[in-house]
Amino acid sequence: MHADFFAGGAGEERTLRGNLAAYDRLRIVPRVLRATGERDLRTTLFGTGLSTPVLVAPTAFHLLAHPGGEAATAEGAAAAGTVMVVSMAATQPVEAIAAAGGPLWFQLYPQPDLAFTAAVVKRAEAAGCRALVVTVDSPVFGRRERDLRNRFTDLPDGLACENMRDATGRVRTVEMDATLGWDRLARLREVTGLPLLVKGILHPADARLAVEHGMDGVIVSNHGGRQLDGAIATIDALPAVAETVGRRVPVLVDGGIRRGTDVLIALALGADAVLVGRPVLEALAAGGARGVQRRLERLTADLDHAMALAGAKRPAELTPDLVAVAG
Ligand SMILES: Cc1cc2nc3c(=O)[nH]c(=O)nc-3n(C[C@H](O)[C@H](O)[C@H](O)COP(=O)(O)O)c2cc1C
Ligand SMILES: CC(C)CC(=O)C(=O)O
């Protein structure tokens, strides 16, 4: 039941499969004799220096994967020199996760209760989270047929979304809010000085609106195929979004990234960095903090190797002309 929750997507899982299939259709057109020497994968986002452009996507319920929970993921991400985005649906308190690792960003589903939403943001900020990732692809919850079949509706006894506790200590459910609009993101601006990223952008017109509304970053995502089944593959959506944003703010992408060559293609098509969801969950389940560290380091080493073979010393040297559609 829990493995299906992690692996599954919405509907027929067309988008879930499509995210991976889209990378299968793309090929790298390498450059030669570029004398790259050692590659330099260091990446800076909102003033934080990272050793890799591969970040940990926000995912719910890590205690279902490993007894170390989100703290183990944070420890692994920190050891790999990258950011973990903590899900609002984490099963451990953000303070405990921050004690285990960092740098952290915090993912938010803005709640209809604005005062409670502000309190959660303040709490994440106080715990040391350095950016806020606002998920905007979930006005309603995706229809996940595996979860329906398995009747997976609640966390087991003893587990809870620890960052959803209100002042009385009661745990609230994470609500999806179909009344959410750009005005509410403007209100978040008044609550926090942290950089604000919108996660779940696929249409270039929305990327333009995000920049116009003063967002600090855009994450091209279809929620790993868990929300709108039939949505475009993220690597297919990325070029138009990147072109519209025009380097005014960082553009990140997630969905279906499993190999360093996938990262290379995403960076070449306009991403400043990528995030990985299920690979981290699988590594956490298999090997705890060390597993997460090794999976992230493997992806980064694999990217480094691919860059050497494609003739790029730095991520910034990866450009769209290095990618072609397979015949
Ligand atoms: C089990 C699971 C839980 C997730 N939980 C969240 C979440 O709480 N908030 C969120 O914004 N995205 C969530 N996502 C989406 C991820 O942040 C990310 O967009 C997606 O996993 C990327 O695709 P990938 O798994 O193919 O790398 C979740 C994804 C999975 C697989
Ligand atoms: C449990 C939800 C709040 C998170 C989730 O499953 C998702 O965003 O995919």
Helix (H) or strand (E) holding 219: strand 217-220
> Which tokens go with 203?
């249409």
If you average pLDDT over residues 43-59, what whole number do you get?
98
Pick the atom of ligand 1 nearest to 256's CA. Answer: 26
CB-defined site of ligand 1, < 6 Å: 5-6, 19, 57-60, 87, 89, 107, 135, 199, 221, 223-224, 226, 254-257, 276-278, 281
| pLDDT bucket at 327, cuts 50 / 70 / 90 | confident
Token representation of residue 278:
């299920």
Ligand 2 site, residue 89, Cβ cutoff 6 A: yes
**Mutational pocket test of ligand 1: of 59, 70, 108, the residue with most ligand atoms within 8 Å of the beta carbon:** 59
Do residues 228 and 142 lie in contact, with contact meaning Cβ atoms separated by under 8 Å? yes
Tokens of 206: 């929305």
Nearest CA to ligand 2 atom 3: 89
Residues 91-145: pLDDT tens digits? 999 999 999 999 999 999 999 999 999 999 999 999 999 999 999 999 999 999 9
What's residue 278's pLDDT? 99
Between the CA of 36 and the centroid of ligand 1 the distance, in Å, is: 35
Q: Is the CB of 245 under 6 A from ligand 2?
A: no
Domain 2-325 has CATH 3.20.20.70: yes
Mean pLDDT of all residues in 224-233:
99
Question: What was the ipTM of the complex prediction?
Answer: 0.99
Alpha-carbon radius of gyration of the chain: 19
d(CA 106, ligand 1 centre) in Å: 13
Query: Across the chain, what does the average pLDDT equal?
Result: 98
Please give the distance, rounded to the nearest whole angstrom, from the Cα atom of residue 88 to the centre of ligand 2: 9
pLDDT tens per residue across span 238-272: 999 999 999 999 999 999 999 999 999 999 999 99
Tens-place pLDDT, residues 160-206: 999 999 999 999 999 999 999 999 999 999 999 999 999 999 999 99
- Measured at the CA of 14, the angle between CA 13 and CA 20, to 5 degrees, comes to 100
pLDDT digits (tens, 9 = 90+) for 53-82: 999 999 999 999 999 999 999 999 999 999
* Nearest Cα to Cα of residue 281 among 16, 45, 76: 76
Does 112 sit behind a cis peptide bond, omega within 30 degrees of 0 on the bond before it?
A: no
- Mean pLDDT to the nearest integer, 151-155: 97
Residue 35 CB coordination number (10 Å): 6
Q: What is the pLDDT of residues 13-32, one digit of tens each?
A: 999 999 999 999 999 999 99
Catalytic residues: 223
Given a contact cutoff of 8 angstroms between Cβ atoms, the answer to whether 83 and 76 are in contact is no
Count of CB atoms situated within 10 Å of the CB of 189: 14
Do the beta carbons of residue 180 and residue 110 sit within 8 Å? yes
Atom of ligand 2 at shortest range from CA of 223? 9
- Strands 54-56 vs 273-276: parallel, antiparallel or unpaired: parallel
DSSP-derived secondary structure letter, 247 = T
The torsion angles phi and psi of 45, rounded to 5 degrees, stand at: -130, 120
Neighbours of 26 (CB within 10 A): 18
Helices (H) and strands (E) in the chain, counts: 11, 12
Annotated binding residues for FMN: 58-60, 87, 107, 135, 199, 221, 254-258, 277-278
CA 205 to ligand 2 center in whole angstroms: 26
Residue 321: the pLDDT is 98
DSSP state, 116? H
Please tell me what DSSP assigns to residue 80: T
Question: Which ligand does the CA of 57 lie closest to?
Answer: 1
Give CA–CA dist 53/291, Å, rounded. 19
Q: Could you tell me the CA-to-CA distances from 36 to 52, 56, 213, 270 in Å, in that order?
A: 17, 27, 39, 21
Burial class (CB in 10 A: 0-12, 13-18, 19+), 209: middle
Percent of the chain at pLDDT > 70 equals 100
Q: Are 220 and 135 in contact (CB under 8 A)?
A: no
Cβ neighbours for 193, distance < 8 A, ≥ 6 positions apart: none
Residue 138 CA to ligand 2 center (angstroms) comes to: 9
Nearest CA to ligand 2 atom 4: 60
Structure tokens at 305: 């190797």
| Whether residue 280 has its Cβ less than 6 Å from ligand 2 | no
Binding-site annotation, residues? 58-60, 87, 107, 109, 135, 144, 199, 221, 223, 226, 254-258, 277-278
